[in-house]
């Protein structure tokens, strides 16, 4: 593929780990194959799927020989997570200068891969990670996801993650573009083989090695629908939340208390005592408006619509608190289920300071 002036002049190996992803893999591969302006290969790693994932991947490989290939993840080594094993298998087959790790439930906007390479080069970043636009359809998605991502924005501000002068390090495993040389230098996913939160662990190693990270919200490049029902959402965030936040128990209590206070203020504003002057209700509504605006400003960056913000404030906060406690309990017991496997990683990355001695 020839690159036109102003387009990316590097090559990319796109690695897509897939375990029982028949619902979303086809759309993901369609969006990847349609990319232009950059030379790339796509490696789908079938991670012991029991549905139609393998057949879908094979159909794309047959239709696009030389562009799409399918490999098997192989047996899961002791101490490894399934995703780390799958992507490491994909890397062994990769032959390009840059690696893009992206999940099977993502959809990539036209031209986004070439633009991402240009952005990484212009920003002198050796790791570029995008937080995709989150598609929320069900009540559970619309209520919970905005709360989670608002807290993630507070815990991992993209401006600080992207600044070498701050210790914060983060990445979103749904989209990680990294220079192959930098990936190998920090040990790749093999160096974080047992980490459930492998994206943050890898970002920590990259930043600790003095290599620049670029991290931002990227609705202009990629979108995803992470979970399609309550059991998927519950188990997915149970796997991750206790590792993402340094004090999940305290955050759960704080979130629930804030939510209770908001409902108390709303109830008082709607049904004030008869002897209260009317201006008190007006003041209480103004008090409620402040946290709404503060939450809305954070969620606009993650591209959540207004109705999701309202659902999050009214109902999502106590669900988030429950999921935090559920995640904390699962990790403390060493019993974290995900996609038919059970992990026992008790490492809380949020509690560990970033150092240069890994």
Q: Residues 230, 140: contact at Cβ < 8 Å?
A: yes
Encode pLDDT of 156-205 as tens digits. 999 999 999 999 999 999 999 999 999 999 999 999 999 999 999 999 99
Encode pLDDT of 245-258 as tens digits. 999 999 999 999 98
Nearest CA among 157, 154, 149 for reference residue 304: 149
Distance CA 84, CA 74 (A): 12
Collapsed DSSP state (helix, strand, coil) of residue 80? coil
Q: What is the mean pLDDT of residues 60-85?
A: 95
Strand partners, 18: 46
- Does residue 16 have a pLDDT over 80? yes
For residue 195, the model assigns a pLDDT of: 94
Residue 350: pLDDT band with limits 50, 70, 90:
very low
- Does residue 351 have a pLDDT over 50? no
Q: What is the mean pLDDT of residues 68-80?
A: 95
- Tokens for 90? 């994909």
Distance CA 7, CA 92 (A): 27
- Does residue 346 have a pLDDT over 70? no
Q: Residues 49, 77: contact at Cβ < 8 Å?
A: no
pLDDT higher at 2 or 241: 241
Give this prediction's pTM.
0.88
Q: What is the mean pLDDT of residues 247-276?
A: 85
Q: What is the mean pLDDT of residues 26-54?
A: 97
Residue 295: pLDDT band with limits 50, 70, 90:
low
pLDDT higher at 298 or 54: 54
For residue 353, the model assigns a pLDDT of: 34
Quote the DSSP letter at residue 353: P
Residue 301: pLDDT band with limits 50, 70, 90:
low
For residue 276, the model assigns a pLDDT of: 77
> What domains lie within the chain, and their CATH numbers?
11-136+156-228 (3.90.550.10), 242-349 (no CATH)
**Residues in CB range of 192: below 8 A, 6 or more apart:** 84, 198, 201, 202, 205
Beta-sheet pairing, 127-131 with 175-179: antiparallel
Nearest CA among 70, 58, 52, 81 for reference residue 14: 70
Encode pLDDT of 93-136 as tens digits. 999 999 999 999 999 999 999 999 999 999 999 999 999 999 99
Half-sphere exposure of 165 toward its Cβ, with a 13 Å CA cutoff?
1
For residue 265, the model assigns a pLDDT of: 77
pLDDT more than 70, % of the chain: 89
pLDDT more than 90, % of the chain: 72
Distance CA 136, CA 226 (A): 9
Strand partners, 69: 43
**Other Cβ atoms closer than 10 A to 86:** 28
Tell me the average pLDDT of the chain: 88
- Does residue 88 have a pLDDT over 50? yes
For residue 4, the model assigns a pLDDT of: 46
Residue 300: pLDDT band with limits 50, 70, 90:
low
For residue 311, the model assigns a pLDDT of: 86
**Other Cβ atoms closer than 10 A to 278:** 8
**Residues in CB range of 358: below 8 A, 6 or more apart:** 186, 191, 204, 205, 208, 209
208-222, 230-244, 256-270: which range is least confident on average? 256-270
* DSSP letters for 165-217: TS------TTEEEEEHHHHHHTTGGGGGTT-SSHHHHHHHHHHHTT--EEEEE
Collapsed DSSP state (helix, strand, coil) of residue 300? helix
Q: What is the mean pLDDT of residues 57-83?
A: 95
Strand residue runs (E) in the chain: 11-18, 39-46, 68-72, 98-102, 106-108, 127-131, 133-134, 175-179, 213-217, 222-224, 336-338, 341-343
Q: What is the mean pLDDT of residues 41-62?
A: 97
């Amino acid at each position: 593929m020839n690159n036109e002036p102003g387009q990316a002049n590097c090559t990319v190996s796109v690695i897509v780990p897939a375990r029982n992803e028949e619902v979303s893999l086809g759309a993901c591969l369609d969006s990847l194959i349609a990319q232009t302006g950059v030379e790339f290969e796509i490696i789908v790693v079938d991670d012991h799927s029991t549905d139609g994932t393998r057949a879908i991947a094979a159909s794309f490989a047959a239709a696009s020989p030389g562009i799409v290939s399918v490999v098997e993840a192989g047996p899961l080594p002791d101490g490894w997570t399934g995703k780390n094993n799958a992507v490491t298998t994909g890397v062994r087959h990769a032959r390009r200068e840059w690696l893009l790790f992206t999940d099977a439930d993502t959809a990539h906007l036209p031209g986004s891969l070439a633009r991402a390479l240009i952005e990484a080069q212009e920003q002198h970043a050796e790791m570029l990670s995008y937080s995709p636009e989150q598609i929320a359809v069900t009540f559970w998605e619309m209520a919970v996801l905005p709360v989670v991502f608002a807290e993630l924005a507070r815990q991992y501000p993209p401006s600080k993650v992207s600044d070498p002068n701050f210790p914060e390090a983060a990445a979103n495993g749904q989209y990680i573009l990294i220079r192959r040389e930098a990936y190998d230098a920090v040990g790749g996913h093999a160096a974080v083989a047992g980490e459930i939160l492998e994206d943050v662990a890898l970002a920590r190693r990259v930043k600790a090695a003095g290599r620049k990270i670029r991290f931002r919200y990227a609705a202009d490049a990629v979108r995803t629908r992470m979970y399609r029902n309550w059991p998927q959402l519950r188990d997915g965030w149970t796997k991750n939340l206790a590792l993402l936040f340094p004090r999940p128990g305290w955050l759960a209590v704080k979130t629930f208390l804030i939510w209770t206070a908001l409902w108390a203020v709303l109830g008082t504003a709607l049904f004030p005592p008869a002897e209260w002057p009317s201006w008190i209700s007006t003041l209480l509504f103004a008090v409620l408006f402040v946290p709404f605006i503060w939450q809305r400003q954070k969620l606009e960056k993650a591209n959540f619509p207004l109705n999701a913000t309202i659902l999050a404030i009214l109902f999502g906060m106590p669900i988030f608190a429950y999921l935090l406690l559920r995640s904390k309990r699962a990790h403390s017991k060493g019993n974290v289920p995900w996609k038919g496997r059970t992990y026992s990683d008790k490492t809380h990355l949020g509690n560990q300071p970033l150092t240069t001695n890994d």
